[in-house]
Structure 1
Amino acid sequence: MTDSTVRSVVDALDARFPRAWAESWDRVGLVLGEFEHPVTRVLCVVDCVPETVDQAIELGADLILAHHPLFLKPVSSIAPDTFKGALVHRLIRAGVALYTAHTNADVANPGVSDALAARLGLTGLSPLAPAEGAAAGEGRGLGRVGELPEPLTLAALTRLAARRLPVTAAGVRAAGDPDALVRRVAVCGGAGDSFLSVAARSGADAYLCADLRHHPVSEHLASGGPALLDVAHWASERPWLDDVAAWLREVFPVEVVVSDLDTDPWTVHANHDDLEIRP
């Protein structure tokens, strides 16, 4: 193990998830923090939001490793009366560095979708969309495709996903024949409707991702595409935090805490079974 400073942790993260692997529109790497500041405790989160900043400060964390960028679009001010500016000022005052690994962690092998596939017990994994450019090769790419240990109906797979993935108000919903047998499954951490056609060509019987929309799903099914499972965005990416936390503990003599704060924006779910019907 090596000494732990912001610089040494950043260097290790940059080596494991090179910034060159990120999409051109993405913003990854160190967001703020003093390079020579010691790191004894790291908090891993999906989102850097007020609740996870509160958690980091309460834990005495020296660094937040976030999956989603705090700054994805340019800003002209980080004034403390703006949402993101307030977070930046709080982090600086508390001496908490912030680092982001986003699409460079999505494409990595192992990466975000590997952790998601592992929750379903998928084996024989290959990229759903193999990486190109700087990230090409060595099994890297977005999403994963693999085999279930044994075939399941779509209804049973949906129940399995609900049991294995972090619980959210949104739960898990599926589109397709509930009795259809599923053997081969494609998964993608985060929003995945841009890969619907790729999933259809992959030979998968079902495709699990987040943020699916009505019309693309309807057209996908009408054209004979595989069944779909839609999960909360946060739930699809939260499993990766366990993997990166385990790696950090191996490399550095630091305490690593994984945040289980549900930062999915949807907080209430109801169905007809929850309603009291009065005549």
Structure 2
Amino acid sequence: MPALAEVIAALEDAYPPELAESWDAIGLVCGDPAEPVRTVLICVDPTSETVDEALDLGAQLLVTHHPLLLRGVHGVPADTPKGALVHRLIREGVALYCAHTNADSADPGVSDALAEAIGLRVLRPLDPIGERTGLGRIGELPEPEPFSVFVQRVAEALPETEPGVLGAGDPDRPIRTVAVAGGAGDSHLAVAAQAGVDAYVTADLRHHPAGEHLAAGGPALVGLTHWASEWPWCEQASAVLRRAFAGNVETHVSTRRTDPWTIRTSRERNQ
């Protein structure tokens, strides 16, 4: 079995730490780099649910996209939610490693996984860093299709969430070129518009920026939940480890939905 340090090296070869934003908190949160790793669980969020899953699998390593301790902390007491997770992981001998904005900008990275899930052929980064890396991706469909059909394509490609998938735009608009950005992407609305794509798929779109974008003639919008937009990356990261440690490390992609929204309802109207 490889040591934790070897597994981290494989992950950092795929998702170079130098690609992370300066404000980010990536890397090893807890765990002994010398300890052997036999089983790895990969997920989007470090939560009590995904820690439960890691323990059920007997995993020695939990790899997450989102950091547990993004903002500076002065302690991790066990009577706080995040501190309790750190104590539990250490007691059970499970390491925690986070690949966040470095995985967003890597080639391939989070947005490549989203594009692949939707069925796009990736052409270039949406917001490039160099030639091949950067945030978001621009891709194209094999053939144009109406926006209403495209929204359904996205919904069927991603795990189901209570809020579902939302579309904003003319249902009959032909869609061929598409920008995607895993995670919160309304800061790239202008970049997507400048790219001249037909549609932009991302998460956490806000009311006013989205409305102003559409009023200005920008691409049609497909709104996802943050978790669903980044979940395809888990399989990508799993494949990285399978290639690096063929037969020596067992990898699992989390099946726990950690999207925070759990109820959707609507008022019944009298006919």
TM-score under structure 1 length normalisation: 0.94
Cα distance, 1:124 vs. partner? 4.2
Distance, in Å, in 2 between the alignment partners of 1:227 and 1:62 is 43
Q: Once the two structures are superposed, what CA deviation does each residue of 1:36-80 show, in whole Å capped at 9, x if it has no partner?
A: 111000000100000001111111100001000001001122000
1:268 is aligned to 2:263: yes
Aligned counterpart, 2:123: 125
After superposition, where does 1:49-60 map in structure 2 within 5 Å?
A: 49-60=47-58
Deviation track 1:168-220 (CA, whole Å, cap 9, x = no partner) reads 11110011111111111100000000000000011111000000000000110
After superposition, the C-alpha distances for 1:225-255 in whole angstroms (9 at most, x for unaligned) are 1110001111111101111101201211110
Whole-angstrom CA distance in 1 between matches of 2:266 and 2:169: 19
Give the alignment partner of residue 25 of structure 2, picking from 27, 32, 35: 27
1:193 lines up with 2:186 in the alignment: yes
Aligned residue for 1:179, secondary structure, equals coil
Distance (Å, rounded) in 1 between the aligned partners of 2:229 and 2:255:
13
- Where 1:12 maps in the other structure, the secondary structure is helix
User: Percent of pairs identical after alignment?
Assistant: 55
**Contact 2:65–2:100 (8 Å) recurs in 1:** yes
Whole-angstrom CA distance in 1 between matches of 2:121 and 2:21 = 27
Distance 1:88 1:54 in 2: 13
Q: Which runs of 5+ in 1 are unaligned?
A: none
2:242 match: 249
Is residue 259 from structure 1 mapped to residue 254 from structure 2 by the alignment?
Answer: yes
Map of 1:144 onto structure 2: 137
| Aligned partner letter, 2:170 | D
Q: What is the alpha-carbon distance in structure 2 between the residues aligned to residue 130 and residue 163 of structure 1?
A: 29
1:14 alignment partner in structure 2 = 12
Residue 214 of structure 2, aligned match among 192, 217, 221: 221
Q: How far apart are the structure 2 equivalents of 1:123 and 1:55?
A: 33
* Contact 2:115 2:122 (C-alpha < 8 Å) held by counterparts: no
1:42 paired residue number:
40
Instruction: Kindly report structure 1 stretches of 4+ aligned residues shifted beyond 4 Å.
Output: none
User: Aligned-pair distance for 1:149?
Assistant: 1.1
Q: Is the 8 A contact 2:26 2:67 kept in 1?
A: yes
CA distance in 2, matches of 1:235, 1:59: 23
The residue correspondences of 1:176-215 to structure 2 (distance < 5 A) are 176-215=169-208
Query: Residue 159 of structure 1 aligns with which residue?
Result: 152
Aligned equivalents of 2:180, 2:9: Cα separation in 1: 30
Counterpart AA for 1:109: D
SS of residue matched to 2:239: helix
- Deviations 1:112-163 (CA, angstroms, capped at 9, x unpaired): 10010011111142100001xxxx34x1111111111111111111111111
Q: Using the TM superposition, give the Cα deviation of residue 278 of structure 1 relative to its aligned residue in structure 2, in angstroms.
A: 5.9
**Residue correspondences, number:** 269
Contact 2:44 2:65 in 1 (8 A): yes
Partners of 2:168 and 2:72 in 1: CA distance = 37
Structure 1 equivalent of residue 77 of structure 2: 79
Note closer, same or farther for the CA distance 1:124–1:258 as it changes in structure 2 (3 Å cut).
Answer: closer
Q: Decide whether the 8 Å contact of 2:161 with 2:259 is kept in 1.
A: yes
Distance 1:116 1:91 in 2: 29
Q: Which runs of 5+ in 2 are unaligned?
A: none
Q: Output the CA distance in 1 between the equivalents of 2:88 and 2:13.
A: 28
Alignment RMSD (CA, Å): 1.2
| Cα distance in 2 between the residues matched to 1:152 and 1:120 | 13
